[in-house]
Amino acid sequence: MRSTQPAQMHLGAFLQDAGHHIAAWRHPDAPAGAGMNFDHFRYLAQRAEAAKFDMIFLGDQMTFQYEEDETLGRTSRTVNFEPLTLLSALAGSTSRIGLIATASTSYNEPFNVARKYASLDHISHGRAGWNVVTSWTGGEARNFNRSEVMEHGLRYRRAQEFVEVVKGLWDSWDSDALLDDRQQGYFFDPARLHVLDHQGEFFQVRGPLTISRSPQGHPVMVQAGSSADGQTLAARHAEVIFTAQRHLAEAQSFYRTVKEQLVSAGRTPESLKIMPGVFPVVGESAAHAREKFEQLQALVNPEIGWAVLARHLGGVDLSRYSPDDPVPDLPLTQGNQSRQALLLAFARRENLTIRELYWHVTGTRGHWCVFGTASEIADVLESWFTQGAADGFNIMAPWLPGGLDEFIDEVVPVLQRRGLFRTDYQGTTLRDHLGLAPPRSRYANREAR
């Protein structure tokens, strides 16, 4: 399986307001109101581009990340820019780095999503990517005319059809359809325009899309779910997977399973890049890095910690247990099942108490945390990359901008010296950076005239 990997790893910068630690907003170096501070995001995007990252990535939830109770005022995860709007602005402040934003298949319509991402691809000259999510929080459901979250399997059935419709709409125009023939009076060739006329279980969409074929053909398709349903969706459509894996053996198993599913789906292993999230804490030593992390942990309000744990366990209330009880066996809810399963397996394997799991989740949200010097962190990333566990990594800085600055200034040069990461871009589009072939239009055979 190692032969399927590229010569160099891919790196993304996952930008989360003041950082990925729940208390990052209280860090003395975090800017005030980071989630609504455009200058802050522009700085981060330009720093990641100068370091030759493949992409920046923005998640999204269309509700407060935590329920509206007494804990809400103690977290910064309440106000954030709409991600596509932000990336459209950042496209003008950058020139090479990929721009990936999240949009839900549960609370959007395919035509809107297809049009917006094609627009971003044109605005950025071929740097757009869509992170496909199905949305799993009750707050989002209630903001979109539903009393509860759709059942897990139903969400993914809808997502499969949603993605098929979006890809069909992206093929509405042949690449040479726009003529701008002013002498003959033809703006476009009607024979090179295609009407989708989709009729399905969830959607009836005629088309065509009211924007021409985008520079990449299709914006890059990204998927973040790791459940069985999520893997099925990824095997059919995804070109990048952002995943949460904590141990090398688990990451290798996930990597191998997904790549095998690609082959079964008629795709090549190289057509999808697997990029686990990593929460790196850089220090003068491993002990120093852990000390920096503990300083962040000390800023966590206990009630927020319990709220974070409940959220990541699908809303399960653990208040009837003592904090020092072992983590009980819990059923998976209709929420983010892959994250619930990951956390419960981790708790069982490490024999954690509820309190210990709470501290773990507040810090890293269940993602892989690496402590150490720049060389030690580079060693671990190299190990995963060379042993068939990852094609690259989505860097989740503990706080921003400092955590990303440290990774860029200290870890990236080590990776570059080892030949594991680029020193310059070789292309201009996100597909170029990822080594992904342009998609073939479903109407391609008609283009040969």
Asked if 434 contacts 8 with a C-beta cutoff of 8 angstroms, the reply is: no
Residue-level length of the chain? 449
CA 399 to CA 122: how far, in whole Å? Answer: 32
Is residue 102 part of an annotated ligand binding site? Answer: yes
Closest listed residue to residue 379, CA positions, set 248, 272, 255? 248
Is residue 264 part of an annotated ligand binding site? Answer: no
Give the dihedral sign, CA 162/166/172/175.
negative
Is residue 288 part of an annotated ligand binding site? Answer: no
Q: Which two tokens stand for residue 390?
A: 């990852």
Residue 180 — left, alpha, or beta (φ > 0 → left; ψ -120 to 50 → alpha)? Answer: left
Strand pairing class (178-181; 128-133): unpaired
Helices H / strands E in the chain, number of each: 16, 13
Closest listed residue to residue 398, CA positions, set 276, 244, 280? 280
Is residue 60 part of an annotated ligand binding site? Answer: yes
Is residue 181 part of an annotated ligand binding site? Answer: no
AA identity, residue 190: P
Burial class (CB in 10 A: 0-12, 13-18, 19+), 347: buried
Q: Quick one: which H or E segment has residue 248? A: helix 248-264
Query: Per the annotation, where are the binding residues?
Result: 60, 102, 152, 156, 226-227
Query: Per the annotation, where are the binding residues for FMN?
Result: 60, 102, 152, 156, 226-227
